[in-house]
């Protein structure tokens, strides 16, 4: 027996995820369910990869503030995905680089709202890494994305 969550991912009674149309969430039995990310993803198809994307607009003006930069970064990633005929639900991995992890943690509620506004309730595997700085000195966040588009 299985149930389907808001993402369309079927969860079996034993807590393991079943394959969906786009990707399979990998959730080992007995592990607590992650909030806002997946422990792992499996997918088959065409890979779409971004470079490190930051929160600037098409004129290379950075958004003001951490949450605003995240919003612009996610918007930029969505635009890159669209160029590759991919959508946010095709994302299987996001790697976030932040210059201040406390800034990230203190804005979780607002970040979740911005994330869902742009990517919906699809949560791929994610990693969060604090770095000393980014190439653009005023950038507060940089995100790499990997998507797999079904064939």
pLDDT score at 149: 95
pLDDT band at residue 20 under the 50/70/90 scheme: very low
What pLDDT score was predicted for residue 12?
41
Reply yes or no on whether the pLDDT at 5 is more than 50: no
Confidence check: pLDDT of 18 > 90: no
According to CATH, the superfamily of the domain at 46-149 is RutC-like (3.30.1330.40)
Q: Where is pLDDT greater, at 5 or 103?
A: 103
Quick count: other Cβ atoms within 10 Å of Cβ 13? 8
pLDDT-based confidence at residue 3 (cuts at 50, 70, 90)? very low
For the cut 60, the answer to whether the pLDDT of residue 109 exceeds it is yes
Q: Is the pTM of this model over 0.75?
A: yes
SS3 89: helix
Q: How confident is the model at residue 13 (pLDDT cuts 50, 70, 90)?
A: very low
pLDDT mean over 34-54: 93
pLDDT at 21: 61
- The pLDDT, as a whole number, for residue 1 is 29
Confidence label for 31 from pLDDT (cuts 50, 70 and 90) = very high
Residue 113 CA: distances (Å) to CA of 56, 119, 123: 20, 10, 13
**How far is the CA of 96 from the CAs of 19, 32, 126, 141, 142, in angstroms?**
26, 22, 8, 7, 6
Question: Band of the pLDDT at 23, cuts 50, 70, 90?
Answer: confident
């Amino acid at each position: 027996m299985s149930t389907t969550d808001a993402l369309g991912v079927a969860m079996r009674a034993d807590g393991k995820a079943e394959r969906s149309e786009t990707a399979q969430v990998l959730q080992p039995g007995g592990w607590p369910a992650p909030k806002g990310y997946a422990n792992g993803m499996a997918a088959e198809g065409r890979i779409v990869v971004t470079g490190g994307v930051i929160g600037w607009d098409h004129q290379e003006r950075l958004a003001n503030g951490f949450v605003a930069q995240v919003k612009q970064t996610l918007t930029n990633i969505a635009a890159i995905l669209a160029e590759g005929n991919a959508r946010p639900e095709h994302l299987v991995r996001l790697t976030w680089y932040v210059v201040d992890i406390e800034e990230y943690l203190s804005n979780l509620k607002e970040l979740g709202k911005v994330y869902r506004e742009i990517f919906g309730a699809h949560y791929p595997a994610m990693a969060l890494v604090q770095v000393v700085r980014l190439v653009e000195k005023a950038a507060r966040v940089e995100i790499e994305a990997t998507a797999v588009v079904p064939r």
